Amino acid sequence: MKIIKILLVMLAIPLSLQEVVADYKDGKDKSQVCAGCHGTDGNSQISMYPRLAGQHKDYLVYALEGYRSGNRQNAIMSGFAKGLSDQDIQDLSEYYSMQKGLKTLPER
């Protein structure tokens, strides 16, 4: 009987740990909304809007979650981020992080 319990627990662990897996292609499709300001590949040509191309994925996730929760304030981005699911945030961040653009500052 104990063995069955242990087996059930072992089966339940992977299910509970299931994470959202980012999808590049979906991210590309979903990014069309963002392209108006951030450019088609995240290399925004409008100086007041940040480039996203090549940015670290986990930073993009952190930023989007911040806009969604209200931790980070921006009239335009709050509106867009409120409608995003965790899956959307993963997909978009995956797509933009894979584009060529931003770089780490050079060492002196």
Partner 1 sequence: MKSIYKLITIPIMILFAPAGMADSPLPGKDKSETCLGCHAIPGYNNVYPTYKVPKVAGQNADYIISALKAYRDKDRIHETMHANASALTDQDITDIAEYFESLK
Binding site for partner 1 (CB under 8 A): 44, 46-51, 54-56, 58-59, 61-62, 66, 71-73, 101-108
CA distance 92 to 32: 10
**Token pair belonging to 81:** 């981020």
Nearer to partner 1, 18 or 47 (CB): 47
Q: Least separation, in Å, of the C-beta of 17 and partner 1?
A: 18
Nearer to partner 1, 15 or 104 (CB): 104
Token pair for residue 83? 């409608």
Say what the alpha-carbon torsion angle 25, 28, 29, 30 is, to the nearest 10 degrees: 120
| Least distance to partner 1, CB of residue 23, Å | 20
When the beta carbons of 28 and 51 are compared against partner 1, the nearer one is 51
Integer Cα distance of 69 and 98 in angstroms:
25
